[in-house]
Amino acid sequence: MAFFNRQMDLMQQARASSTFNPMKLTVVLYDNEATVSSRRAAFHRVENALGLHDNMKLPHIYSGLDREGLYLEGVRRARVITHDMITHGHNHFQWLNERYQICNSSPFGMNFLMFRRTIELQGTADQRRYWLQEIDQMRINGAYAQTELGHGTFVRGIETTATFDVGTDTFTIHSPTPTSVKYWPGGLGFSCSHAIVAARLITRGKDHGVHMFIVQIRSLEDFAPVCGVELGDLGMKMAYNGTCNGYARFNYLRVPRSSLLAAHAQVSRDGTYGQAQTKVGTLPVSKRVYSTMLDTRRNIVRCVAFGLAQAVTITTRYSIVREQGRLMFSDATDEEAAIIMFKSQHYRLLTLIAQSYAILFAAKDFDVRYDQLVCEQEKDDHARLPFMHALSTGLKAWATTIASAGATEARKMCGGHGFVALSGLPEIEGTVSATVTFEGENYVMWQQLVVYLFKQVKALCSGQDVDIEVKDYMGGVRTYLDEETFPSRIQGCGKEKLFDGSTLLLIYKERSQRLLATAYSSYREMCNRCSAAEAWNTCMMTSLAAGQAFVEYIVIESFLKRISSLDTEDAPISEALSHLFCLFALTTITSPSPSFAAGSFLEHGLLTSDELNKIRVRVNELLAHLLPNIAALTDAWDFTDSSLCSALGCKDGNVYERLLSWTRQLPANSGRAVEKAWEASEGIEEFFKASRL
Amino acid sequence: MAFFNRQMDLMQQARASSTFNPMKLTVVLYDNEATVSSRRAAFHRVENALGLHDNMKLPHIYSGLDREGLYLEGVRRARVITHDMITHGHNHFQWLNERYQICNSSPFGMNFLMFRRTIELQGTADQRRYWLQEIDQMRINGAYAQTELGHGTFVRGIETTATFDVGTDTFTIHSPTPTSVKYWPGGLGFSCSHAIVAARLITRGKDHGVHMFIVQIRSLEDFAPVCGVELGDLGMKMAYNGTCNGYARFNYLRVPRSSLLAAHAQVSRDGTYGQAQTKVGTLPVSKRVYSTMLDTRRNIVRCVAFGLAQAVTITTRYSIVREQGRLMFSDATDEEAAIIMFKSQHYRLLTLIAQSYAILFAAKDFDVRYDQLVCEQEKDDHARLPFMHALSTGLKAWATTIASAGATEARKMCGGHGFVALSGLPEIEGTVSATVTFEGENYVMWQQLVVYLFKQVKALCSGQDVDIEVKDYMGGVRTYLDEETFPSRIQGCGKEKLFDGSTLLLIYKERSQRLLATAYSSYREMCNRCSAAEAWNTCMMTSLAAGQAFVEYIVIESFLKRISSLDTEDAPISEALSHLFCLFALTTITSPSPSFAAGSFLEHGLLTSDELNKIRVRVNELLAHLLPNIAALTDAWDFTDSSLCSALGCKDGNVYERLLSWTRQLPANSGRAVEKAWEASEGIEEFFKASRL
């Protein structure tokens, strides 16, 4: 335990200024007190088992490990959290691990997430009976091997073949080209005994397209790769080094006919291919897969809310205790100011904090819609699936873009110290950044959302039914389509109360409606001159901007909903969250996230220059209101010190002593690097000049 | 040598479509043919000596090395390039190393950059005579130890003490607190025998403030730290792992009185402190330090142009050969499109390419001004120093912000493959990212620029002299200050030719003048209500936006200058660069870089919504014009395969075979990771469940 020092004092002062008890906000973030307690207990047990409680001790992960060392540490951690979930019957680490990273960053993470689910969805009753039990008793660990070196989201491009041989009643799994090598699947390199392999089913000389096979890839006796499979790891990554994203090259591997997941397609003993669909309700299987994707995406959105909040928590704490430089034109003699006092830091921090809340509340609002959808689907009502799928793509793209940019920004705000692994920020930044491209690259995601929205506009224009969720919204789009000029409907309807939630919501709604109408019109017009594909491609940047504006409108709505649903007993919390909402809405206007329509709040008279200036003044006022609560707003996320794993971000504020202590414990500093570099040379000139080690 | 394959064919086709010979553009980028040849020869020798010519061989740096291994590889490389420069008498690697990283990423990089320069500037004739020779003959390697754990750019905050003891005629260097430990200096951890140490000079009980001392920190016999100094490395960083940014903790280390760099301040034998200034010309030493900073900053700007260009070169090449998915609404059956054909990729790539050229041309234009300044300063004319200093801060902040965001974007554009170290992109992204905070954190830089601009406005308003470089510009600012409304001077003066260079320059100029006038007025007004420091801080976000707009105007001007100075014999090159210029100017309007005034092109009638739509259409046309030259525009930077060090970015386009080959060569794949994880458990359940390795 360190002696109380200046930094710890600054941190204590920052906490003392808060207008509410952060624990009460924690309950809002995690829904109820029981969850908060149960999570805390789980973190405590796990961190105890992993030996992480002494926060003055250098975390093993930062000790300069090589590739193998980082992986072994990942295995060690994954074992502990899995063990804890089984022993104590909870699922706190099912989606987010003990560092709030999404579970595919764990060597065992894909087992339940994708491997089990695929069997559940595509296996026959027999297959489910056998394999699900193996998985649940953890006798096997599975990967999901779809992506190939040359093929990503476009499943039809997959090249791996599974050719049926009637003589031996087996499929032969083979990688015919370099581009067909399975590449990237989580856990595939070292950790999995089995894999779902996506491969083209060929029987009687005919290619029936991509099907799923369950394939054993390692011996259960000694874990060596089975004959006919070459397995390996992809090496170092920006993050996720605790797992072994890997490759698999199949060399005429024979697997029994029963390897085909056969709920929806079968190959009979004589090699006949058949598609005896076992329908589950009225929804075809291909559509049911959407539900899985929905579930994954909503978890990604929640995950990056935590990722951004982690980064901002570290940076906030560091900014509270870091005294550096003086305010420009300051009369103070040699007193340095805490960097949080500089408006640039103050502004950026609170903007990012507001974004982390906005993402989490959007995730929660989506969860409510999702739960409702699940209920409806159980009653065989799938009407809302297209809207939900579209919204999930847009939310995923928006949240991961914002969170990734925000985590990077938070890291840069810690200066040089943020660049060092010990700050914890490079790892968090890398982890969040991965979500931008995985489970659907964001520019593909945006397009899927906009295609949905265009379809709805088209239905509207041709008098067909519009989905219930967007019916009201599309009404507003129509007026923009119909009118030659774009009269702002904002004027006269409440802009005197520019900062009311309802006015802000209206501004976001009108802006997105206008952008959507404009984008659709441009696209339709272009369709007269070229093919739909070319028209789409030509107009893409404008269309994507419309999609982004739609999501921003939904996010504003979700944030507002969440605030209004709060127990109003705790006025200071309500007030702080209202300020945070307003800051989020206004800074997204003054400093929009990059898009081809970044000026859209100002176009067509939506907002005037004068209103924009009022907004800028209001932003400054909100920053002042929120500053006393900045520690509380980040403390409320309830991150343990070891989940942040940061010398800069521990709760006590004891930044410098901890950073120095961790640095001095680095193994390289008691290692032989200097001697090795030195021994190879003879004297100082050689040390510098020798051209070979 | 690989067999010719589809990817290589796609790459060849992309090159065949170019309208000019990229080698001619290379000469434009490197100024003349002699430089291009000499650079090529140097790269060839160095890569040969380092064993990097076989681009199917896994680069050692990606082999999953631990902290020590990465450092030793850094030493090996630094030796080879240093040796080559000495042997062949060139300085191609003096600022940028063989990977186009700025030289402080090398274990020997600070020796000339900061160590030698400081002695040159602050040493007496005797000191210079002795030490410069030691350095030039490479008998010592020096670090520059100013930054402390708790103290960065604010030099007066430094805590390390150097107390003179008259009895022994020595200074005692000491680190009195944890925050006083020297932390971050490049090369300090393992590589340096000496260091310039910034410490408070105390003699006869009086603190005379921070002075520079030259201190031996390691033995020249065995390179062990001298007694009284604890040295160490900071561990892993996002990049720069080839050098050992380090810490030094002094424990009453005694050094001779002659350690004080004494050109400007001396301590006599009896402990008397004196400031017998040796003036060099009329400029005080404190101001001469600015010249050093200017030189460093212009090199950072050039460096990040190359860094961004490297990232974009890799991404461009990958996008040309990566076929993934189909265009939305496409009729094509199963043909996948190269991702460069998707407008989002096409738009983002060319926007980033345009930015890399804009940064390089801005650096070159600054170099011209800098050379002129050096001439003037030799004649003791320092009038342009304040402007040049301010411009250098703004350019550094702007270029590093743009380049860092761009390198990140380029990496994300490669999807999952970009996340893997083998792509080379994480290393480039990290390297560029470091420049955002080092040598002056960007938000500090922006403030310095705006303080300068405000001073000039103030001079203007009070009828005093305005610096010659901004005289004309300030005239325009005045009209915005004087007028109640802001009439756009663009209208009627050329907007019919919206896309002419001169119109675009005018738009940028007017926008920045208006923003500066507004920011200054707000600040002045606020000064009536509170202290200057508070007023500055309150208005900071608006002020910084004005600074950013000023730099963008200068960059537009520099780009135009460079184009007009081109030999017009090569019309296709001129045309391509003009298109690139226009794309840069227009995309900075449609998708402005984040700022508090992102909507400023639309405010006060500068551009109308209609004009904005015309701009969007023009952007699409420019993208189409530039696409055939996209390979040539990146090839022109003349990066060798091993300087890019990327499985995705080699010139031949053979992406997949190389990525697979490198992956299979990873040592972890023939290592014992699996066995180690497995051996600790007894059977498969234990493998997953055991809570301890």
Q: Half-sphere exposure (CA, 13 Å, Cβ side) for B192?
A: 40
Please determine, for residue A691, whether its predicted confidence score (pLDDT) is greater than 50: no
Q: What is the band of B484 on the pLDDT scale with cuts at 50, 70, 90? A: low
For chain A, the average pLDDT equals 92
Please, are residues B131 and B119 in contact by the beta-carbon 8 Å criterion? yes
Contacts of A693 in chain B (CB under 8 A): 72, 75-76, 79
CB contact under 8 A, B64 and A66: yes
- Closest residue of chain B to A593, computed from CA coordinates: B594
Please determine, for residue A84, whether its predicted confidence score (pLDDT) is greater than 70: yes
CB contact under 8 A, B421 and A82: no
Phi-psi region of A420 (alpha: psi -120 to 50; beta: other; left: phi over 0): beta
Any chain B CB within 8 A of the CB of A324? yes
Tens digit of each residue's pLDDT (9 = 90 or more) over B122-156: 999 999 999 999 988 788 999 999 999 999 878 88
In chain A, the N- to C-terminal Cα span, in Å, equals: 44
CB contact under 8 A, B66 and A69: yes
Q: What is the band of A94 on the pLDDT scale with cuts at 50, 70, 90? A: confident
pLDDT of B468: 95
Q: Is B399 exposed, middle or buried (0-12, 13-18, 19+ CB in 10 A)?
A: buried
Return d(Cα B660, Cα A50) in angstroms, integer.
Answer: 35
Greatest mean pLDDT among A162-166, A370-374, A482-486 lies in A162-166
pLDDT of B493: 59
pLDDT of B292: 77
Tens digit of each residue's pLDDT (9 = 90 or more) over A231-248: 999 999 999 999 999 999
Instruction: Please tell me whether residue B218 adopts helix, strand or coil conformation.
Output: strand
Q: How far is CA B245 from the centre of its chain?
A: 17
Any chain B CB within 8 A of the CB of A2? no
- Closest residue of chain B to A67, computed from CA coordinates: B64
Contacts of A144 in chain B (CB under 8 A): none
Which distant-in-sequence residues (6+ apart) come within 8 Å of B151 by Cβ? A324, B157, B158, B159, B179, B180
CB contact under 8 A, A415 and B421: no
Tens digit of each residue's pLDDT (9 = 90 or more) over A262-278: 998 999 999 999 986 65
Q: What is the DSSP string of A163-198?
A: EEETTTTEEEEE--SGGGSEE--TTTTTT-SEEEEE
Please, are residues A218 and A193 in contact by the beta-carbon 8 Å criterion? yes
pLDDT of B367: 96
Any chain B CB within 8 A of the CB of A523? no
Q: What is the band of A692 on the pLDDT scale with cuts at 50, 70, 90? A: very low
pLDDT of A488: 65
pLDDT of B672: 82
Any chain A CB within 8 A of the CB of B324? yes
β strands within B481-536, DSSP E: none
Neighbours of A48 (CB within 10 A): 11
Please determine, for residue B442, whether its predicted confidence score (pLDDT) is greater than 70: yes
Phi-psi region of B631 (alpha: psi -120 to 50; beta: other; left: phi over 0): alpha
Any chain A CB within 8 A of the CB of B617? no
Helix (H) or strand (E) holding B361: helix B343-378
Please determine, for residue B280, whether its predicted confidence score (pLDDT) is greater than 60: no
Provide the token pair at A521: 């019109």
- Binding residue ranges of B for FAD: 147, 186
pLDDT of B690: 44
Return d(Cα A221, Cα A36) in angstroms, integer.
Answer: 41
Chain A interface mutation, best of B75, B181, B431, B523, highest count of A Cβ atoms under 10 Å: B75
Q: What is the band of A335 on the pLDDT scale with cuts at 50, 70, 90? A: confident
Single-letter amino acid code for the residue at A428: I
DSSP-derived letter for residue B484 is: S
Please, are residues B267 and B260 in contact by the beta-carbon 8 Å criterion? yes
Specify the higher pLDDT residue, B289 or A626: A626
Chain B interface mutation, best of A75, A175, A351, A676, highest count of B Cβ atoms under 10 Å: A75
Neighbours of B557 (CB within 10 A): 16
Provide the token pair at A375: 């209920």
Specify the higher pLDDT residue, A545 or B330: A545
CB contact under 8 A, A421 and B341: no
Q: Where are the alpha helices (DSSP H) in A151-276?
A: none
pLDDT of B627: 98
- Poorest-pLDDT segment among A96-100, A463-467, A489-493: A489-493
CB contact under 8 A, A420 and B151: no
Please, are residues A142 and A193 in contact by the beta-carbon 8 Å criterion? yes
Q: Annotated catalytic sites of A, by residue?
A: 439
- Closest residue of chain A to B621, computed from CA coordinates: A538
Q: Where are the alpha helices (DSSP H) in A58-124?
A: 67-88, 92-95, 109-110, 117-122
Any chain A CB within 8 A of the CB of B664? yes
Contacts of A65 in chain B (CB under 8 A): 66
CB contact under 8 A, B433 and A422: no
What value does the mean pLDDT take over residues B602-631? 92
Q: How far is CA A544 from the centre of its chain?
A: 20
Q: Is B524 exposed, middle or buried (0-12, 13-18, 19+ CB in 10 A)?
A: middle
Please report the domains of chain B, with CATH numbers, ordered by start residue: 108-276 (2.40.110.10), 442-627 (1.20.140.10)
Please determine, for residue A683, whether its predicted confidence score (pLDDT) is greater than 60: no
With the C-alpha atoms ordered B610, B342, A363, A588, is the resulting torsion angle positive or negative? negative
Q: How far is CA B531 from the centre of its chain?
A: 35
- The minimal CB distance from B416 to the residues A415, A438, A531 is found for A438
Q: Is B525 exposed, middle or buried (0-12, 13-18, 19+ CB in 10 A)?
A: exposed
Tens digit of each residue's pLDDT (9 = 90 or more) over A528-555: 999 999 999 999 999 999 999 999 999 9
Any chain A CB within 8 A of the CB of B451? yes
Return d(Cα B219, Cα B225) in angstroms, integer.
Answer: 6
Q: What is the 3-state secondary structure (H, E, C) of B231-288?
A: EEECCCECCCCCCCCEEEEECCEEEEHHHECCCCCEECCCCCEECCCCCECCECHHHH
Task: Write down the residue that tokens 């004068």 correspond to.
Answer: A610
With the C-alpha atoms ordered A253, A256, A261, A262, is the resulting torsion angle positive or negative? positive
Q: Give the gap in angstroms from C-alpha A671 to the nearest C-alpha of chain B.
A: 8
Please, are residues A211 and A162 in contact by the beta-carbon 8 Å criterion? yes
Q: Give the gap in angstroms from C-alpha A269 to the nearest C-alpha of chain B.
A: 30
For chain B, the average pLDDT equals 92
Q: In chain A, count of helices (H) and strands (E)?
A: 25, 11
- The minimal CB distance from A538 to the residues B66, B149, B343 is found for B343
Q: What is the band of B438 on the pLDDT scale with cuts at 50, 70, 90? A: confident
Please determine, for residue B483, whether its predicted confidence score (pLDDT) is greater than 90: no
Q: What is the band of B494 on the pLDDT scale with cuts at 50, 70, 90? A: low
Q: Give the gap in angstroms from C-alpha A547 to the nearest C-alpha of chain B.
A: 14
A315 annotated among ligand-binding-site residues: no
Any chain B CB within 8 A of the CB of A176? no
- The minimal CB distance from B612 to the residues A64, A419, A599 is found for A599
Q: In chain B, count of helices (H) and strands (E)?
A: 25, 11
- The minimal CB distance from B596 to the residues A419, A591, A691 is found for A591
CA distances (Å), origin A360, targets A305, A363, A639, B369? 5, 5, 15, 50
Neighbours of A692 (CB within 10 A): 12
- The minimal CB distance from A149 to the residues B533, B599, B659 is found for B659
Return d(Cα B498, Cα B582) in angstroms, integer.
Answer: 10
CB contact under 8 A, A79 and B689: yes
pLDDT of A331: 78
Neighbours of B513 (CB within 10 A): 25
Please determine, for residue A627, whether its predicted confidence score (pLDDT) is greater than 50: yes
Please determine, for residue B456, whether its predicted confidence score (pLDDT) is greater than 70: yes
Tens digit of each residue's pLDDT (9 = 90 or more) over B200-251: 999 999 999 999 999 999 998 888 999 999 999 999 999 999 999 999 999 9
Provide the token pair at A307: 């990722």
pLDDT above 90: percentage of residues in chain B: 77
Please, are residues A615 and A592 in contact by the beta-carbon 8 Å criterion? no
Tens digit of each residue's pLDDT (9 = 90 or more) over B257-267: 999 999 989 99
pLDDT of B692: 34
What value does the mean pLDDT take over residues A427-432? 97
Instruction: Please tell me whether residue A569 adopts helix, strand or coil conformation.
Output: coil
- Poorest-pLDDT segment among A150-154, A373-377, B50-54: A150-154
Phi-psi region of B180 (alpha: psi -120 to 50; beta: other; left: phi over 0): alpha
Specify the higher pLDDT residue, A616 or B684: A616
Any chain B CB within 8 A of the CB of A530? no
Report the predicted TM-score, pTM, of the whole model to 2 decimal places: 0.96
Contacts of B531 in chain A (CB under 8 A): 329, 331
- Poorest-pLDDT segment among A5-14, A89-98, A285-294, A497-506: A285-294
CB contact under 8 A, A693 and B612: no
Please determine, for residue A669, whether its predicted confidence score (pLDDT) is greater than 80: yes
CA distances (Å), origin A429, targets A426, A433, A640, B135, B596? 5, 6, 18, 40, 24
Any chain A CB within 8 A of the CB of B337? no
Return d(Cα B584, Cα B504) in angstroms, integer.
Answer: 11
Instruction: Please tell me whether residue B23 adopts helix, strand or coil conformation.
Output: helix
Neighbours of B20 (CB within 10 A): 19
CB contact under 8 A, B62 and A236: yes
Return d(Cα A464, Cα B193) in angstroms, integer.
Answer: 79
Neighbours of B480 (CB within 10 A): 21
Return d(Cα B550, Cα B509) in angstroms, integer.
Answer: 7
- The minimal CB distance from B179 to the residues A331, A334, A656 is found for A656
Please determine, for residue A687, whether its predicted confidence score (pLDDT) is greater than 80: no
Please, are residues A625 and A19 in contact by the beta-carbon 8 Å criterion? no
Q: What is the DSSP string of B537-586?
A: HHTHHHHHHHHHHHHHHHHHHHHHHHHHTS-TT-HHHHHHHHHHHHHHHH
